[in-house]
Amino acid sequence: VMGLLRMGRLVNFVSHSVIIGFTAGAGILIAFKQLKHVFGLPIPQGSTIPKIIQYIVQHISETNWMVLAVAAGTFIIALLIKLFIKPLRRYYMLLAMILGSVLALILGGSGNGIETVGELPSNLPPFQVPDFSIANVKQLSSGAMVLALLGLIEAVAIGRAIALHTHQRIDGNQEFIGQGLSNMVASFFSSYAGSGSFTRSGVNHQAGAKTPMAAIFASVFLMVVLLIFADYASFLPKAAMGGIIVLVGYNLIDFHHIKNVYKSSGRELIVLGITFFGTLFFDLEFALLAGILASFFFYMERTSQPNIAVLGMSKDRRLINLIRDENAMECSNLKIVRIDGSLYFGSIEKIAAFFSQLYEKNEMQYVLVAADGINFIDLAAAEWLTNEIRKWQKNRGGIYFAGLKLVSQDVIRKGGFFEKMGDGIFFKDKKTAISYIHNKLEVPCKEQVFTECRVENP
C-alpha cells in the first residue's frame, strides 16, 4: 500500500552519511556476531559488542584452536583467491567454503569440537491461510504499520549502501511494493515479517550478484539443497562460514567514503558517527532514525542561516559582494542585497534581524533584493515580508525584488499577499529594477554608481 501511494520518496531523507555510517556499523556488527564460531566459544545469544569482547577476554584460554584454525584458514583462502587469482575471483566464497570444509575434516572435524551446521529440514514450510478475523486485524494493525515502516527503511538503506558500489538506482516505491508482496506471500507459509539482511546482501554482492535474479536463483538453490542435498549441507563447518562472514563484514566498511566525509564536513562526520555507534550499540532501527534526525537537525540549522550578501558595483561594471571587492561602490539611496537560501519559518529570524538593522540605520530609502537564489517562500515568510514591505513603503521608499522565480512566488500569489505588498515590486532582472527605482528617487545620487544615476549640475 505504501508503495502504491508513492511513499518511496521517504527514503530520500536517508542521507549519504547515514548510509555510510550504517553500513560500517553493520559490517563490524556482522563480524562480531560471528566470533563465537571463530573462537569456538559459547558466547550467549544476543550479546552486545562490549559483552562479546568481555566474554572473549575472560574465556580466551578456552578457545578451541582447531576451530580458530578453520576460521582463519577459510578467511585467508578467501582473501588470497579474491586478491591474487583473478579467474576464480567470482567464486572465492564458494571455493573458500569448500577448502575450509576440507581443512576441518583434516583437523578432526566434530571429533575436535569443530561444529557443523547440523541437520537441516528436508521439507518446505506448510501452506496455511492466516487468520483474517477482525479481532486479529485490530490487534496487529498498529504494530504492522510500525514494522512495515522500519523494515522498509532498513531494507532501502541496505540497498542504497550496496548501490554506492554498484552505482545502481534504487526505486523506493518499487522496493516497497516488492517487499510488501513478498511478505504477503510468505505469510501463507508460516513466515514472520521479513526485511533486508545486511549479511546476506553483503555476501550476495561480494559473490558477484548484479541483478535481482541472483536472489531468485539463491532461493531456488536453497530449495534444491533442502529437498535433495540437506544431508550433505549439514557437514558445513560453522567456523568456515564464520570466517567468510567476517570477511564480508570487513568489506562492508567503506574506508574511502568515510575518509571523504572526514575531510569535507564536520557536520556530516557527526551524522556518520551517530549512525555508526548507534548501529554498534543499539537496534539498527534506532541507529537509522537517530542518523536521519541528526541529518534533519543539521539541515535545518544550515537553512536557517541563509547567506545575505551586500552588493556593490565593481570597476568592471559588475555587481559583486562587497566582501570580495572593498573598492566596489554603493549607491547612497539604494541598498542591493542578495539572499541565498529559502525564506521559511526557520530562516526568518536572521533575515528579519538584517532588515531591522538596515532600517534603524536610516541611511537608505530603497532596498533591492537580488532574489535569484531564493527557491522557496513559505506562509510565515510571506506574512513577514508583507509587513516589512509595508513598513518601508510607509516610512522609507520601499523594498523591491529582482529575479524571483515564479515557483518561489507561489505562496505569495495564492495567499493574496501579492496585492497587499503593492504593485510593481517584482522585476525580472536587476537592471530593470534599478531603472525603475532611479525614477522614484527624491534625493539625487551622491555617487555615479549606475548608468541611471543622476549627477547634480555644478
pLDDT for residue 156 is more than 50: yes
Confidence of residue 1 (pLDDT cuts 50, 70, 90): low
Q: Residue 336 corresponds to which cell in the numbers above?
A: 542591493
How are strands ordered across the β-sheet holding 319-321?
319-321, 307-313, 334-340, 366-370, 398-402, 426-427
CB neighbour burial string for 254-264, b if at least 16 within 10 angstroms, e if fewer: beebbeebeee
pLDDT in tens, 392-442: 988 888 899 999 998 888 899 888 898 888 778 999 988 888 888 888 776
* Cβ density class 295-332: b for 16+ within 10 Å, e for less: beebeeeeebebebbebbbbeeeebbebeebeebebbb
- Strand duo 426-427 + 398-402: pairing: parallel
CA atoms within 13 A on the CB side of 77: 23
CATH number, span 307-440: 3.30.750.24
SS3 107: coil
For residue 455, pLDDT beyond 70: no
Q: What is the pLDDT of residue 457?
A: 39
| Interatomic CA distance for residues 248 and 206, integer angstroms | 7
Q: Where are the domains of the chain?
A: 7-300, 307-440
Does residue 310 surpass a pLDDT of 80? yes
Evaluate if pTM is beyond 0.95.
no
Average pLDDT of the chain?
84
- Which of 202, 261, 225, 226 is closest to 34 using CA atoms? 202
pLDDT > 70 in the chain, percent: 92
- pLDDT(289) > 70: yes
Higher pLDDT, 451 or 73: 73
Q: Is the pLDDT of residue 150 over 90?
A: no
Report in angstroms the alpha-carbon separations of 440 from 333, 365, 396, 435.
11, 10, 12, 9
Q: How far apart are CA 419 and CA 390, in angstroms?
A: 11
**What is the bridge-based pairing of β-strands 366-370 and 334-340?**
parallel
CA–CA dist 251, 207 (Å, integer): 12
Confidence of residue 453 (pLDDT cuts 50, 70, 90): low
Can you give the pLDDT at residue 456?
46
- State percent of the chain over pLDDT 90: 31
Q: Say whether pLDDT at 382 is over 60.
A: yes
Average pLDDT over residues 172-191: 80
pLDDT band of residue 458 (cuts 50, 70, 90) is very low
User: What is the pLDDT at residue 399?
Assistant: 92
Angle CA 373–374–380, to nearest 5:
160
- pLDDT value at 80 more than 60: yes
Residues 86, 71: Cα–Cα separation, whole Å? 23
In this prediction, residue 449 has a pLDDT band, given cuts at 50, 70 and 90, of low
More confident residue, 314 or 445: 314
Amino acid at 112: N
Residues 6+ apart with CB under 8 A from 436: 400, 424, 427
| pLDDT value at residue 71 | 94
CB-based contact 261:270 (threshold 8 Å) = no
Distance in angstroms (rounded) separating the CA atoms of residues 297 and 81: 45
- Average pLDDT value for residue range 255-277: 92
Q: 245 exposed, middle or buried (CB, 10 Å; 0-12, 13-18, 19+)?
A: buried
Residues 6+ apart with CB under 8 A from 392: 359, 367, 398, 399
Residue 269's Cβ-count burial label (10 Å; 0-12, 13-18, 19+) is middle
Distance CA 138, CA 244 (A): 44
Least confident span in 48-52, 94-98, 107-111, 449-453: 449-453
**Cell 513478498 -> residue:** 182
**Single-letter residue type at 217:** F
